[in-house]
Chains A and B, each alone.
Chain A
Amino acid sequence: MIELWDGASMEYDKILENLLGRDDYLVVGHSVVRTDALEKALGRARFTADYIPKGTAVVKVVRSSQPHARIKVDVKAALGVPGVLAVLTAADVPGHNQIGYALPDQPFLNGEKVHYIGDPIALVCAEKEYAAAEAVDAVEVEYDPLPASFTLDAALQPDAEPIHEGGNVAVTTRIRKGDAERGFSAAEVEVEDTYETPYQEHMYLEPEAAYAVPEGAGKVTVVGTMQSPFLVREKVAHVLGWNLSQVRIIQALTGGAFGGKDDMGPLVCAKAALAAVKLGRPAALVFDRDESVAYTPKRFPARIRYRSGADGEGRITAVEVDITVDCGAYANRAPFWLWRMTAHAAGPYEVENASVDGRAVYTNKVFGGSFRGFGDVAIHFAAESQVDRLAEELGMDPVEFRLRNVLRPGSRTTCDQLLDHSVGMEECLRGAAEAAGWKRGRELGRKGSRVRGVGVGCAYHGISTSRSTPDWSAASLILNQDGSFTYRTGICELGQGSPVGHAKIVAEIIGAPLSSIRIEVPDTDSTPNAKPTHGSRGLMLGGTAAADAALKLRQRMISVAAEMLGCPEADVDLREGRAFNRQDPSEEVSFAELAEELYVRGVSPAAYGFYTSPRRFYDPETGLGVNYSVYTFAASVVEVEVDTETGQVDVVKVWPAMDVGRAIDPLMIEGQIHGAVSQGIGFTLMERLVVEDGLVLNPNFKDYVVPSALDTPEVAETIIVEEPYRHSAFGAKGVGEPAIISIVPAIANAIHNATGLRFNTLPITAERLYAALRRRKP
Chain B
Amino acid sequence: MRPIPSFSLHRPKTLSEALELLQALEDARPIAGGTDLLVLLRDGAVSAKHLIDLGGVHELQYIREENDEIRIGAATTHAQLLRSELIAEKTPLLHEAAASIGSVQIRNRGTLGGNLCNASPAADTAPPLLALNAEAAVASTGGTRIIPLGDLFAGPKMNSLRPGELLTEIRFPTPPAGSGTSFQKLGRRRGLTLAVINVAVYLCLEGGVCREARIALGAVAATPIRMPAAEEMLEGRQLSGELIEAAASACRDQVRPIDDIRASAEYRREMAYVLTRRALMDAWERARRDTL
Contacts and interface: CB of A to CB of B under 8 A. Distances in A.
Please indicate whether A and B come from the same complex rather than being unrelated chains. yes
Interface of A: 129-130, 133, 288-291, 645-646, 648, 650, 686, 690, 697-698, 702-703, 705, 707-711, 765-767, 770-771, 774
A705 B2 contact: no
B7 interface: no
A698 B264 CA distance: 15
Contacts of A646: 186, 271, 274
Given A708-B189, A708-B191, A711-B190, A288 B1 contact: yes
A710 B270 CA distance: 25
Contacts of A291: 1
Interface residues on B, range: 20 to 34
- The 9 A-B pairs at the shortest CB distance, nearest first, are namely A708-B191, A710-B191, A710-B190, A288-B1, A767-B267, A705-B188, A645-B274, A711-B190, A290-B1
A5 B261 CA distance: 53
Task: Give chain B's interface secondary structure class.
Answer: loop
Contacts of B84: none
Interface of B: 1-3, 186, 188-194, 261-264, 266-267, 270-271, 274
10 contacts: A289-B1, A646-B186, A648-B186, A650-B190, A705-B188, A705-B193, A707-B189, A709-B191, A765-B188, A771-B267
Nearest to B193: A705
A688 to B, nearest CB: 9
A767 B190 contact: no
A650 B190 CA distance: 9
Contacts of A129: 3
A492 B262 CA distance: 37
B261 A697 contact: yes
A698 B191 contact: no
A559 B16 CA distance: 86
A703 B262 contact: yes
A762 to B, nearest CB: 15
A702 B264 contact: no
B2 A133 contact: yes
A767 B264 contact: yes
A104 B2 CA distance: 33
A710 to B, nearest CB: 3
Contacts of A711: 189-191
Nearest to A765: B188
Which of A289, A690, A766, A771 gathers the greatest number of chain B CB atoms within 10 Å?
A766
Given A708-B192, A771-B267, 14 more contacts: A129-B3, A130-B3, A646-B186, A646-B274, A698-B261, A703-B262, A705-B193, A708-B189, A708-B190, A708-B193, A710-B191, A765-B188, A766-B188, A770-B270
Contacts of B266: 771
Contacts of B191: 708-711
A686 B192 contact: no
A601 to B, nearest CB: 60
A499 to B, nearest CB: 32
Contacts of B186: 646, 648, 766
Contact of B267 (A290, A710, A770): A770
Given A133-B3, A686-B188, A702 B267 contact: no
Nearest to B190: A710
Which of B1, B189, B194, B270 gathers the greatest number of chain A CB atoms within 10 Å?
B189
Contacts of A710: 189-192
A705 to B, nearest CB: 5
Given A133-B3, A697-B261, A705 B189 contact: yes
A645 B264 CA distance: 16
Contacts of A703: 261-262
Contacts of B2: 133
A182 B31 CA distance: 73
A116 to B, nearest CB: 19
Nearest to B267: A767
Contacts of B274: 645-646
A689 to B, nearest CB: 11
A713 to B, nearest CB: 11
Contacts of B262: 703
Contacts of A767: 263-264, 267
A289 B191 CA distance: 20
A686 B193 CA distance: 12
A56 to B, nearest CB: 16
A770 B274 CA distance: 11
Contacts of A690: 261
Contacts of B188: 686, 705, 765-766
Contacts of A766: 186, 188
Which of A133, A646, A707 gathers the greatest number of chain B CB atoms within 10 Å?
A646
A529 B193 CA distance: 44
A291 B1 CA distance: 8
Nearest to A682: B189
A646 B192 CA distance: 19
A290 B274 CA distance: 35
A529 B237 CA distance: 79
Contacts of B261: 690, 697-698, 703
B263 A686 contact: no
A728 to B, nearest CB: 39
A494 B191 CA distance: 26
Nearest to A681: B189
Nearest to A287: B1
A702 B190 contact: no
B105 to A, nearest CB: 13
A650 B189 CA distance: 9
B267 to A, nearest CB: 4
A100 B1 CA distance: 27
B107 to A, nearest CB: 14
Contacts of A708: 189-193
A686 B189 contact: yes
B120 to A, nearest CB: 12
A112 to B, nearest CB: 28
Contacts of A648: 186
B59 to A, nearest CB: 33
A63 to B, nearest CB: 13
A290 B1 CA distance: 6
Nearest to B42: A288
B94 to A, nearest CB: 21
A761 B166 CA distance: 49
A775 to B, nearest CB: 12
B130 to A, nearest CB: 23
Contacts of A133: 2-3
A563 B253 CA distance: 92
Contacts of B189: 686, 705, 707-708, 710-711
Contacts of A707: 189
Contacts of B263: 767
Contacts of A705: 188-189, 193
A765 B186 CA distance: 13
A702 B194 CA distance: 8
A770 B272 CA distance: 13
A592 B274 CA distance: 72
A711 B193 CA distance: 11
A35 B266 CA distance: 53
B278 to A, nearest CB: 8
A710 B193 CA distance: 11
A668 B139 CA distance: 58
A146 B177 CA distance: 69
Contacts of B267: 767, 770-771
A130 B4 CA distance: 9
A705 B263 CA distance: 13
Nearest to B103: A708
Nearest to B194: A702
A129 B266 CA distance: 43
Contacts of B3: 129-130, 133
